[in-house]
């Protein structure tokens, strides 16, 4: 009988880390030791993983001894330092930062699109894609396999929690402050006057009763890092290096759940009925499309759900071989923790089979 593998959560005290602990608790029987790792200031904390109360250990070279698979949820610069340390000790690292995603020797894996790539990891590292990209991929992968994806234009409406705990707390603080201001947002510049400059952080502008057309840092020619991630990561995961992509990413005053409007063009003709057939059978996709009865994807209904919800599917009027649709996913689940868990399951099965 194969021994049970040991798993670590690096960044166990964060928002995504807390979801990781809950998800691993659901599959606790698959693992040997579960080790919680975080910064030195969090070391010694006691956190629950199901019925167990585990002590958080400080990150350091020796903390990875005996670990088989490690989930990393750390800032880019911290992952850049510590992921290679863990990998050098023989740990298979699944990293959620952006640092390794476009490295040609690091697979960028989404189970619904390219599960086999998880086994091809010359550096011992597997990257987790951006939360916006991961919300798109299950739907795109299914449609691409059937109709051949040629191009897509995407507008994303991204929740405050995409900026982490700081973003979520900032949204709640702003909503609380404007909640008692009757008529707020109905006169020029009044929201800025009510909130003050201190409420520009972390989005660059007030988010309550507003939308901010900037997610990520600025890049060349007016693009943002988030918009380029949607383009580059979708190409890599889908294995379509020439895929034409246009993306605009917008922050909206929603707590959890990234929404995206997609215009997709295919090699072959596609109807709404054919798209429904494909997506109803697609892994990781929930078809939510009965608009006459007000049934369609919304962030408030996506929270905590494992699948990506897709609806409002229409055949383009003016563009041949094209569909319009609306996709929503919990950015903390499929967009982060759940995809990492699913990738780890692929690796676990591979490593256990190698022990036989």
**Which residues belong to the active site?**
131, 258
Gyration radius of the chain over CA positions: 21
Q: Which residues of 152-188 are buried (b: 16+ CB within 10 A; e: fewer)?
A: bbbebbbbbbbbbeebbebbeebeebbeeeeebeeee
**Minimal CA–CA distance to 249: which of 163, 354, 146?**
163
Cβ 148 vs Cβ 274: under 8 Å: no
Residue 21: both structure tokens together: 């602990």
Max Cα-Cα span within the chain: 70
**Minimal CA–CA distance to 125: which of 152, 150, 157, 92?**
92
**Minimal CA–CA distance to 327: which of 346, 341, 307?**
307
Cβ 153 vs Cβ 136: under 8 Å: no
C-alpha 205/C-alpha 196 separation (Å) is 10
Residue with tokens 């191009």: 151
Residue 197: both structure tokens together: 């400059």
* Antiparallel, parallel or unpaired: β 31-38 and 5-10: parallel
Give helix then strand counts, H and E, for the chain.
9, 14
C-alpha 256/C-alpha 326 separation (Å) is 16
Cis peptide bond prior to 32, omega within 30° of 0:
no
312 φ, ψ (degrees, to nearest 5): 50, 40
Cβ 229 vs Cβ 135: under 8 Å: no
Sign of CA dihedral 189, 193, 194, 199: positive
């Amino acid at each position: 009988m194969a021994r049970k593998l040991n798993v670590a959560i690096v960044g166990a005290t964060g928002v995504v880390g807390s979801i990781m602990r809950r998800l691993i608790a659901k599959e606790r029987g698959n693992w040997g030791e579960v080790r919680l790792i975080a910064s030195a200031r969090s070391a010694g904390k006691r956190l629950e993983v199901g019925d167990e109360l585990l002590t958080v250990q400080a990150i350091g070279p020796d903390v990875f001894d005996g670990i088989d698979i490690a989930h990393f949820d750390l800032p880019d610069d911290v992952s850049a330092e510590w992921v290679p340390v863990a990998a050098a000790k023989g740990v298979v690292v699944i990293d959620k930062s952006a640092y390794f995603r476009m490295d040609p020797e690091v697979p960028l894996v989404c189970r619904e699109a390219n599960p086999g790539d998880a086994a091809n990891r010359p550096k011992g590292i597997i990257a987790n894609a951006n939360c916006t990209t991961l919300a798109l991929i299950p739907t795109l992968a299914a449609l691409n396999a059937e109709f051949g994806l040629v191009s897509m234009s995407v507008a994303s409406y991204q929740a405050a929690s995409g900026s982490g705990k700081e973003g979520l707390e900032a949204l709640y603080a702003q909503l609380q402050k404007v909640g008692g201001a009757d008529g707020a947002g109905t006169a020029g510049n009044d929201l800025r006057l009510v909130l003050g400059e201190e409420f520009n952080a972390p989005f660059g502008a007030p988010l309550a009763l507003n939308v901010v057309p900037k997610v990520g840092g600025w890049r060349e020619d007016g693009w943002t890092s988030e918009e380029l991630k949607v383009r580059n990561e979708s190409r890599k995961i889908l294995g379509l290096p020439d895929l034409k992509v246009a993306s605009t990413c917008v922050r909206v005053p929603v707590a959890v759940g990234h929404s995206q409007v997609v215009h997709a063009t295919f090699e072959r003709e596609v109807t709404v009925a054919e798209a429904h057939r494909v997506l109803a059978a697609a892994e990781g996709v929930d078809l939510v499309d009965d608009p006459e009865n007000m049934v369609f994807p919304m962030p408030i209904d996506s929270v905590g759900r494992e699948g990506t919800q897709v609806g409002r599917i229409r055949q383009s009027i003016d563009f041949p071989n094209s569909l319009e649709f609306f996709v929503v996913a919990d950015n903390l689940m499929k967009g982060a923790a759940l995809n990492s868990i699913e990738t780890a399951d692929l690796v676990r099965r591979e490593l256990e089979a190698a022990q036989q």
